[in-house]
Amino acid sequence: MPRGPLVRGWRCRCNSWRVFVLDTVAKGVETELTRFFATARLRATDYGEHYVALWDSLEQASSGGKRVRPALVLAAYAGFGGRDQALVSPVAVSFELLHTAFLIHDDVIDRDLARRGVANIAGRFNDRALAHGAATDQAGVWGTAAAILAGDLALSEAHRALAKLPVDVRTRLRLLDLLDRAVFVSAAGELADVTNSSAKHPLTVAEVIATLENKTAVYSFEAPLQAGAVLAGASAEAIRLLGHYGRLVGVAFQLTDDLLGVFGDPVKTGKSVTADLREGKQTALIAHAGGTQSWSLIAPYLGKIDLSDEEAERAREHLRACGAKAAAEGLAYDHSRLAVETLNPAIIPRDLRASLIELAETAVNRVR
């Protein structure tokens, strides 16, 4: 869905998000995470091999991601002149582990045993139980227990990393408030998401966007950016703008994700283009289609567990024909554009602003 650049004269470097992230994430974050898991594993040996395996699974669950949240913390911190790597790393780690905790508990809620084709914690412990001769049902309980506990451990360390920070009281309380809001709003978004997934009618576009914003944009974009800025001592107005930007760009990312989940190239995204349709996932795409006369043609394909590739292609054709694809792309683009517009050059430092504009470009102009 390439469109014109969000900022006139801006040279779009499509697909550079991963580069941006890898460039920005300092090694300090990886070192901090590695050290945390090594210490935990050592402590866990006092409690038996299964608990060590739980920590191994948790470390695996926290690895392999794009480290988007640490990158945003570091970008905002550096952007406002922060230079203390040892101070910012735990903050970055906090938001990464929060993300890990949410993914793990999300999988328990969705009863998933794999993530991106690889066994997740519940899946690994399920297999482990079966290998130890457990019955299927017992193995399921054990897998769920392991995943719930692993999520609790990751969530706890997310809080602890901030709580231990050697900063003045005011900064600590502000960081804690950001984390608190992230948890509070994400839980609301997750509950709404689960509620929506069993809705009998298509949602409105506004409902879809509110859920994306609450479930993901706040904890993944708003809070990490604001935390980095708070730690660097940015002004209240700068922090407010970053929050606004974060919510908008976060929604743009999620809208694009949902588009790639139906119209993407599975080879590039590593993501099925039938799974969301089969699941009947409530996206902006579907919400828009629900308000058109084509709905009766599209509805039968949604939530059809045995949806074939041919049927999925027909659903895609209808989604294109009724304007839903273009509408969802337009929504993503609008959110990205509005995000960039919040970045008042008088308030957001130049280099940070450039990075954030690039991020907003990438949110909508990417193939994975």
Q: Which is nearer to its own copies, 141 or 275 (CB)?
A: 141
Of 20-28, 83-91, 169-177, 285-293, the window that binds its own copies (rule: CB under 8 A) is: 169-177
Q: Which is nearer to its own copies, 155 or 352 (CB)?
A: 155
- CB-based contact 211:189 (threshold 8 Å): yes
Q: Report d(CA 145, CA 122) in Å as an integer.
A: 8
The amino acid present at 362, given as its one-letter code, is T
138 near its own copies, judged by CB under 8 A = yes
DSSP H helices in 198-323: 205-212, 223-231, 236-263, 266-269, 275-279, 284-290, 295-298, 309-321
Instruction: Name the minimum Å distance from CB 37 to its own copies.
Output: 13
188 near its own copies, judged by CB under 8 A = yes
- CB-based contact 154:136 (threshold 8 Å): no
108 near its own copies, judged by CB under 8 A = yes
Report 44-63 residues binding its own copies (CB under 8 A).
Answer: 44, 47-48, 50-51, 54
Report 86-105 residues binding its own copies (CB under 8 A).
Answer: 101, 105
Q: Is the dihedral of CA 182, 221, 70, 268 positive or negative?
A: positive
Instruction: Name the minimum Å distance from CB 200 to its own copies.
Output: 8
Token reading at 260 = 């790639």
201 near its own copies, judged by CB under 8 A = no
326 near its own copies, judged by CB under 8 A = no
192 near its own copies, judged by CB under 8 A = yes
130 near its own copies, judged by CB under 8 A = no
Instruction: Name the minimum Å distance from CB 253 to its own copies.
Output: 21
191 near its own copies, judged by CB under 8 A = yes
User: Could you tell me which of 93, 102, 91, 78 has the C-alpha nearest to residue 23?
Assistant: 78
H/E stretch holding 35 reads helix 27-44
Q: Is the dihedral of CA 339, 342, 343, 345 positive or negative?
A: positive
Q: Report d(CA 79, CA 243) in Å as an integer.
A: 15
Phi, psi of 265 (to 5 degrees): -100, 110
Q: Which is nearer to its own copies, 52 or 297 (CB)?
A: 52
Token reading at 45 = 């040996």
Phi, psi of 114 (to 5 degrees): -145, 155
Instruction: Name the minimum Å distance from CB 129 to its own copies.
Output: 8
Site of interaction with its own copies (CB under 8 A)? 40, 43-44, 47-48, 50-51, 54, 101, 105, 108-111, 129, 133-135, 138, 141-142, 144-146, 148-149, 151-153, 155-156, 159-160, 162-164, 166, 169, 172-173, 176, 179-180, 183-185, 187-192, 194-195, 198, 200, 214
